[in-house]
Amino acid sequence: MLQQVVLYFVGTLVTIMFIGPISFVAWLYWKNRKQTQHSLLRGNHWFLGILRYLIEAVGPEFRFYITDDDNGGKPLSRVKYIAIVKAAKYLKTLISFGSKRDFSQAGFFLKSSQLPLLNEELQLDNSFTIPTRRYEITHETIFFRHERADSIEVRPWLLKKEHQLVLGAERPHPWYLRGRVGMSGMSYGALGKNAITALSKGIAMAGGSWMNTGEGGLSAHHLAGGCDLIFQIGPGLFGIRDEQGNLDPGKLREKAAIPQIKAFEIKLGQGAKIRGGHVEGAKVNEEIAQIRGVTPYKTIDSPNRLPFVHSIADLFDFIELVQEETGKPVGVKVVMVGEDSLNEFCEEFIQRGRGPDFFTIDGGEGGTGATYMEMADSLGLPVFAGLPLADNALRRYGLRDRVRLLASGKLHLPDEIVTAFCLGADMVNIARGFMITVGCIMAQKCHTNECPVGVATTDPHRERSLFVDEKKYRVLNYLITLRAGLYSLCAACGIHHPGEFTRKHLVFKDEYYKTRNAETLYPYPEQK
């Protein structure tokens, strides 16, 4: 009897193993022969068509892990991606054997000093420690990696008080900062609540940093950690608009009364999209709709600019209104397109005797949750091209001491950040680097609400993948590692703190190995 039962089950299994695949293939053939949209699937080579679509589906991941070289991946190379992950998980930036940079390519290089500074000669505040968690690999094989998370203390690597940055020194509520690196604008809606919360908590734990709310308004998740915030005012006026979509001064004052909000940023442009923001309706849940003052689950397309701003004079009127209503620093986010990009701003500033407290210079290589390829590829200059133009414009009009410059656009690692400092930036914003710290794998599905790791999605089932109380430590570790790296480069270049970097510390090498100092390449202008 037992033998008969065994034979029955074996026979059934064999039948399923053979008949199942044959039936499935037959069903695929019938289904594709019936459809009329895809010629390849309808023809005699329908199976090749299925393979083609399968390869398309897994193509980005396949290229990133297998076919792309370490430096060639776009939008971010494997070298940089892994460097961010190692800093966030392991608090390490060490490499072995040598750099993977292609030294035959043109690019910037830092000028090291023949007599670098000792650590004790650096000017910084490491007078206290911060608790965090660092991963250690205990055993690794081809198929398994065994890790443990250790609780440790790290130093903050903050600026000394005498070197702290001040934004809006003329405002009733200036902003004092002990660090030069923070998070670029990423809205709740573009990112999910768990991602925003983990970022808020990690940035707060590190201190001396900030997060930008993005143009989607302020959420409880931005406030969750207690970190400093820049409230971004986009062309949709989300969070400070009335039912008709117009500016509501009362709501603006309400936001200004929140102690965590240290500054306001008026968004004119973004490097990856010279247009207003876009959020697919699938991502606009009831909470996001309530924050923004829009209809739930309806796609949001902001206008290209603030509807009531028709000229630079109109913009300055709005800047003054926000400064007066809030008493806090107000800046403008712009994309540089040439030497004259800021001239009209500066002339208006001189004529009035007042203006924005900072400019955020966003490079064309910057990221976004959703844009059009023709905009991302061709509109606006890269950040390293735009920064010296912005710096020179402010110097030419005698405004450099009154206006701070923030920079953003693929500035993920200490050497990239220092290059931005040399070219004129006072502070640096990072977006994709912070996304990677909370789990982003660059699946490039940000606009679909189908992010597989719970970062760029508001789908509760997908958001569950991101565990806040683990990822917040990675955010903290990334910031600490960046700041430690900045001071390591300070020591190597013979300066005491990041605020001392200038164009004389930077060299550009072309493809023929000819070099020019950045001071020569971008000479400082004479003041008008």
pLDDT in tens, 14-26: 666 777 677 766 7
Torsion angle of the four alpha carbons 507, 509, 514, 518, in this order, in degrees rounded to the nearest 10: -30
Q: Compute the distance between CA of residue 219 and CA of residue 446 in angstroms, rounded to an integer.
A: 19
Residue 146 binned pLDDT confidence (cut-offs 50, 70, 90): confident
In this structure, what token pair is assigned to residue 149?
């998370």
**Does the pLDDT at position 12 exceed 80?**
no
Indicate left, alpha or beta for 464 from its phi (over 0: left) and psi (-120 to 50: alpha). Answer: alpha
**Does the pLDDT at position 40 exceed 80?**
no
Say which residue, 245 or 6, is predicted with more confidence: 245
Which one, of 444, 456, 463, lies nearest residue 190 by Cα? 456
Q: Which residue has the tokens 């010279």?
A: 274
Pairing status of strand 210-212 against strand 278-279: unpaired
CB atoms under 10 Å from CB of 170, counted, come to 11
CB atoms under 10 Å from CB of 211, counted, come to 26
Residue type, 401: D
Domains of the chain in start order, with CATH, are 2-67 (no CATH), 130-161+177-492+502-521 (3.20.20.70)
CB atoms under 10 Å from CB of 24, counted, come to 10
Query: What pLDDT score does 404 carry?
Result: 98
Say which residue, 137 or 312, is predicted with more confidence: 312
Whether 262 and 210 have beta carbons less than 8 Å apart is answered as yes
In this structure, what token pair is assigned to residue 111?
């000028």
* Length reported for the chain: 528
Q: Where are the beta strands (DSSP E) in 155-222?
A: 165-167, 175-177, 181-183, 210-212
In this structure, what token pair is assigned to residue 243?
């039912």
DSSP string, 342-392: THHHHHHHHHHT---SEEEEE-TT---SS--HHHHHHSS--HHHHHHHHHH
Say which residue, 62 or 486, is predicted with more confidence: 486
Query: What pLDDT score does 244 carry?
Result: 84
Which one, of 43, 262, 29, 239, lies nearest residue 165 by Cα? 262
For residue 421, the number of C-alpha atoms closer than 13 Å in the C-beta half-sphere is 24
Q: Compute the distance between CA of residue 75 and CA of residue 338 in angstroms, rounded to an integer.
A: 24
Say which residue, 308 or 78, is predicted with more confidence: 308
**Does the pLDDT at position 50 exceed 80?**
no
- For 383-399, what is the mean pLDDT? 96
Q: Compute the distance between CA of residue 38 and CA of residue 49 in angstroms, rounded to an integer.
A: 9
In this structure, what token pair is assigned to residue 370?
């959703």
Q: Which residue has the tokens 């920079």?
A: 407
In this structure, what token pair is assigned to residue 151?
């609780």
Residue 35 binned pLDDT confidence (cut-offs 50, 70, 90): low
First to last CA, the chain: 103
For residue 528, the 8-state DSSP code is -
Pairing status of strand 261-267 against strand 228-233: parallel
Query: What pLDDT score does 492 carry?
Result: 97
Q: Compute the distance between CA of residue 496 and CA of residue 306 in angstroms, rounded to an integer.
A: 42
Q: Calculate what percentage of the chain has a pLDDT beyond 70.
A: 83
Query: What pLDDT score does 397 carry?
Result: 96
Query: What pLDDT score does 251 carry?
Result: 95
